[in-house]
Amino acid sequence: MKTLIKNGRIVTAVDDYLADILIEDETIAMIGKKLDMQADKIIDAKDRLVIPGGIDAHTHLDMPFGGTTSADDFRTGTLAAAHGGTTTIIDFAIQNKGQSIIEALDIWHEKAAGKTAIDYGFHMIVTDLPHERLKEVKRMIHDEGVTSFKMFMAYPGVLLVDDATIFRGMSFAGEHGGLICMHAENGVVINEIVQRALAEGRTAPKFHALTRPTKAEAEGVNRAIALAEMANTAVYIVHLSCYDALKKVKEARDEGIPAFAETCPQYLFLDYSAYESEDFEGAKYVMTPPLREKWNQEELWTGLRMNDLQVISTDHCPFCMKEQKELGRNDFSKIPNGGPGVETRMSLIYNGGVVAGRIDVNRFVEITSTAPAKIFGLFPRKGTIAVGSDADIVIFNPNKKMTLSAKTLHMNVDYNCYEGMQVQGVTETVLSRGKVVIENEKYVGKPGDGKFLKRSTVQLKHREPASAVR
Ligand code: URP
Ligand code: ZN
Ligand code: ZN
């Protein structure tokens, strides 16, 4: 099968030029001016950006959490991702305490197999890592293609692991080419503050945010980086939300320490005021870390520009207001933590980043696709447009506008955090390994088009993978 994409403006993390692309079966076979060979399908990309498919390195599909299960499964979540211009997700499998990591991975494979619209990989959330389990980590990295592991400093009694476990995991994973992704918040102190608030009758959603100070996140980031330094390895901070935490990453990077971090659209576009309504609406935004005071947003954009933040992921973890968020109506600590986002990431970042003049179009591609591909062992198969790479390609209309709404988006959740917001920049057509899965904004694929990706090991060095400090 041959597909020609003609007349497009190809944008990668480093290039921006007009050319045509020939796809043969699943890969990019040729890039050049005025390609005119026979093809089974021709796509006219005039006045469109032709960009590498987005990579969302942080999703939680079909995940049991907070007494319920995230509302998108691997079918609906990846279909929504495709609509939004994302062609790869890396989702989090969870090892329960006492469970074999291999068994946990098998469960997540079962959840996803045959259902996805796009390719997917797994990180493994590790909740229990005695010495005798380390061989399972080795097997994950070398045989199963799961090369990154999330550890939690938060959620005591559920997901939190102690510093000894974190240090053990970092040392061992680092030695074998794996990477620890850290949920960096001092969960033990937060728990103390939460219990105090509840005892004083403070039960509304806003107290979720008021009981999770930015200093608790900064302390977690600082500790994670120190532990990684002692373990002589890199660390990746997930869902970084505020300036206090960013400062710790920046200080480390300025010293040459291989600390990496992602932020998410919610921390760039939403703020603490979302919690303030007197009714239960604030529950929509109960996520961890919480939304911060608005002034943090421009600091995060500066972090993205200066490469102190390398990646935009979503932390997509949706729960419906009806029945799910409702579990915490009388107690904010029982509201399932998380929000939807996998479908809106690319348009939000294009609009708030490129259209608003905060980042250029190359940096947009880099933080939404190329950098996560490089950090998580998918590059150059994913994350760029180059001969030999998978033909994961998004035809993106940079001028078209749309209004975000739960009614028209495809995520399986009954609200959207950005309801009514107008954005410029719309995903029109999406190819996943050469197959058109979204055509003129309509899904034309089928569940099972996506395949599991075994990821490679990566030796992360300071300042990689970004091309330059801007
Ligand atoms: O609120 C969030 N972030 N829910 C998902 C779990 C996590 O900590 O990433
Ligand atoms: Zn987390
Ligand atoms: Zn998460």
Q: What is the mean pLDDT of residues 107-131?
A: 98
Percent of the chain surpassing pLDDT 90: 97
Q: What is the pLDDT of residues 300-331, one digit of tens each?
A: 999 999 999 999 999 999 999 999 999 999 99
Q: State if residue 66 touches ligand 1 by the CB under 6 angstroms criterion.
A: no
Check if 60 has its Cβ closer than 6 Å to any atom of ligand 1: yes
**Burial of 138: CB neighbours in 10 Å, binned 0-12, 13-18, 19+:** middle
For range 133-137, the mean pLDDT: 98
pLDDT for res 470: 35
Q: Reply yes or no on whether the pLDDT at 462 is more than 90.
A: no
The pLDDT of residue 238 is above 80: yes
Find out whether 197 and 208 touch, Cβ atoms under 8 Å: no
Average pLDDT of the chain is 97
CB 242 within 8 A of CB 292: yes
**pLDDT at site 459:** 83
pLDDT at 278 over 90: no
The pLDDT, as a whole number, for residue 468 is 40
Check residue 169 and give its pLDDT: 98
Edge-first strand listing for the sheet containing 54-59: 54-59, 86-94, 119-125, 148-152, 179-183, 235-237, 259-263, 311-312
Distance CA 421, CA 404 (A): 5
Would you say 317 and 337 are in contact if contact means Cβ atoms under 8 Å apart?
yes
Q: How confident is residue 469, by pLDDT bands cut at 50, 70 and 90? A: very low
Give the model's confidence band at 461: pLDDT under 50 very low, under 70 low, under 90 confident, else very high. Answer: confident
Contacts of 213 (CB under 8 A, 6+ apart): 190, 193
- Nearest ligand atom owner, CA of 181: 2
**Which SS3 state, helix, strand or coil, does residue 236 take?**
strand
The pLDDT score that the predictor gives to residue 95 is: 98
Length of the chain equals 470
Strand partners for 329: none
CA 183–ligand 2 middle distance (angstroms): 5
User: What pLDDT, on a 0 to 100 scale, did the predictor assign at position 351?
Assistant: 99
For range 424-439, the mean pLDDT: 98
The three-point CA angle 413-81-262 to 5° equals: 100
Closest ligand 1 atom, residue 154 Cα: 8
CA-wise closest residue to 248 among 208, 292, 303, 209: 303
Selection from 307, 283, 399 nearest residue 362 by Cα: 307
CA dist 407 and 427 (Å) reads 17
Tell me the residue type at 317. C
- Return d(Cα 376, Cα 287) in angstroms, integer: 24
Kindly state if the Cβ of 288 falls inside 6 Å of ligand 1.
Answer: yes
Nearest residue (CA) to ligand 1, atom 5: 338
Assess whether the C-beta atom of 344 lies below 6 angstroms from ligand 1.
Answer: no
Residue 34's alpha-carbon distances to 6, 7, 20, 21, 182, in angstroms, are 8, 8, 6, 9, 47
For the record, the structure tokens of 241 come out as 């939300």
Task: Provide the strand spans (E) within 153-247.
Answer: 179-183, 235-237
pLDDT for the residue 131: 97
- Residue 105 pLDDT more than 70? yes
Q: What is the mean pLDDT of residues 39-54?
A: 98
User: Which of 239, 267, 334 has most ligand 1 atoms within 8 Å of CB, for mutation?
Assistant: 239
pLDDT top residue among 53 and 462? 53
pLDDT at 405: 98
- Counting from 1 in the atom list of ligand 1, the atom nearest the Cα of 337 is 1
Distance from the alpha carbon of residue 135 to the mean position of ligand 1, in angstroms: 27
Q: Is the CB of 123 under 6 A from ligand 1?
A: no
Summarised one tens digit per residue, pLDDT across range 344-385 is 999 999 999 999 999 999 999 999 999 999 999 999 999 999
**Ligand 1: does its nearest atom lie under 6 Å from the Cβ of 338?**
yes
